[in-house]
């Protein structure tokens, strides 16, 4: 599979890639809300799945809900510049062999965007999200960040490797999650320039996220699906904040596994954050 993205274009699909819980749906919702080219048909008698996006990960080998190129083509016909979602690697190694030619051809005509977020927040959000449907999800964040990703790497290392691989891919448009939330207008302007589209700047700039899978399903059924984003609240629990939940040992472990990526992305400038909680506690005493 190719690992080089085509140059950003004013036409064609938009690939929205990310590590899980890094702002994939937030970006897709922002694109649909602010750029007419990314919106599909809407209405009570229109299949809502044709008007949102398509997860090309459904064409991966052993996917729990396998899809087909025909389903993807239906979305491509419904939207001028549809969003294609993936959590795969840049080389699309997880794609099923029978779909690789299709995916290669599809991505060759797409503009590639990659959403990234502070990995500590990513894993806290992912842990809570998985607890909503996976009874085997770790109860503690300490165990979760150390959990085997499935290939001998910890979740922390797997996050760093995923971000590193995507941001090293030529022609990828990087999208910082925190800027999408806090500097939305500026982010829209940057996206517009990269994708050669004119934004509407509809207020509020970001749609309100759905709070549950049931609310998400109902909004799609009725055609009032402004947001495909689902808050990461497993079993009704609020996502934990890494700066409150991480022990010093957790901080040390995460820095050993992924600290270089935190620094490269600008979330930290050194390893000083490892002992920051203890310093704060001493100052408060």
> How does pLDDT run along the chain (285 residues), one tens digit per residue?
556 789 998 999 999 999 999 999 999 999 999 999 999 865 555 555 566 899 999 999 999 999 999 999 999 999 999 999 999 999 999 999 999 999 999 999 999 999 999 999 999 999 998 887 887 677 799 999 999 999 999 999 999 999 999 999 999 999 999 999 999 999 999 999 999 999 999 999 998 776 655 555 555 554 445 567 665 555 566 778 999 999 999 999 999 999 999 999 999 999 999 998 654 433 332
- Answer whether 0.95 is exceeded by the pTM: no
* Size (the chain), residues: 285
Query: What Rg, from alpha-carbon coordinates, does the chain have?
Result: 19
Instruction: State the Cα–Cα distance between residues 34 and 40, nearest whole angstrom.
Output: 13
Neighbour-count burial for 6-24, b at 16+ CB within 10 Å, e otherwise: bebbeebbbbbbbbebbbb
- Number of Cβ within a 10 Å radius of residue 264: 13
Tell me the C-alpha to C-alpha distance, in Å, between residue 53 and each of 57, 114, 136, 165, 239: 12, 16, 29, 24, 26
Neighbour-count burial for 142-167, b at 16+ CB within 10 Å, e otherwise: eebbbbeeeeeebbbbbbbbbbeebe
Contact of 115 with 178, CB cutoff 8 Å: no
Domains and CATH numbers, the chain: 14-284 (3.40.50.300)
**Tokens standing for 81?**
């510049």
Cβ contacts of 273 within 8 Å, gap of 6 or more: 251, 255, 262
């Amino acid at each position: 599979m190719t690992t080089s993205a085509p140059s950003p274009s004013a036409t064609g699909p938009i690939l929205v890639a990310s590590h899980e819980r890094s702002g994939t749906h937030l970006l897709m919702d922002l694109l649909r809300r602010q750029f007419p080219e990314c919106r599909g048909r809407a209405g009570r008698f229109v299949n809502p799945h044709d008007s949102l996006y398509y997860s090309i990960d459904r064409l991966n080998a052993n996917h729990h809900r396998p899809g087909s190129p025909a389903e993807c083509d239906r979305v491509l016909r419904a939207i001028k510049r549809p969003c294609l979602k993936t959590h795969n690697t840049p080389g699309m190694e997880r794609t099923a062999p029978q779909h690789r030619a299709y995916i290669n051809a599809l991505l060759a005509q797409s503009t590639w965007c990659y959403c990234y977020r502070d990995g500590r927040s990513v894993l806290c959000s992912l842990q809570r999200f998985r607890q909503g449907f996976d009874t085997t999800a770790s109860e503690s964040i300490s165990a979760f960040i150390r959990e085997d990703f499935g290939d001998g790497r910890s979740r922390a290392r797997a996050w760093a490797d995923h971000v590193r691989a995507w941001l090293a891919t030529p022609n990828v448009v990087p999208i910082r999650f925190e800027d999408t939330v806090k500097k939305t207008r500026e982010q829209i302007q940057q996206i517009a320039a990269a994708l050669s589209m004119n934004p509407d700047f509809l207020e509020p700039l970001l749609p309100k996220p759905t709070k549950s899978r049931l609310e998400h399903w109902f909004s799609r059924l009725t055609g009032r699906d402004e947001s495909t984003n689902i808050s990461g609240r497993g079993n009704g629990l609020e996502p934990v904040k890494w700066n409150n939940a991480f022990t010093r040992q957790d901080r040390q472990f995460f820095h050993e596994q992924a600290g270089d990526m935190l620094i490269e992305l600008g979330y930290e400038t050194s390893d000083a954050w490892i002992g920051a909680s203890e310093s704060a506690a001493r100052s408060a005493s």
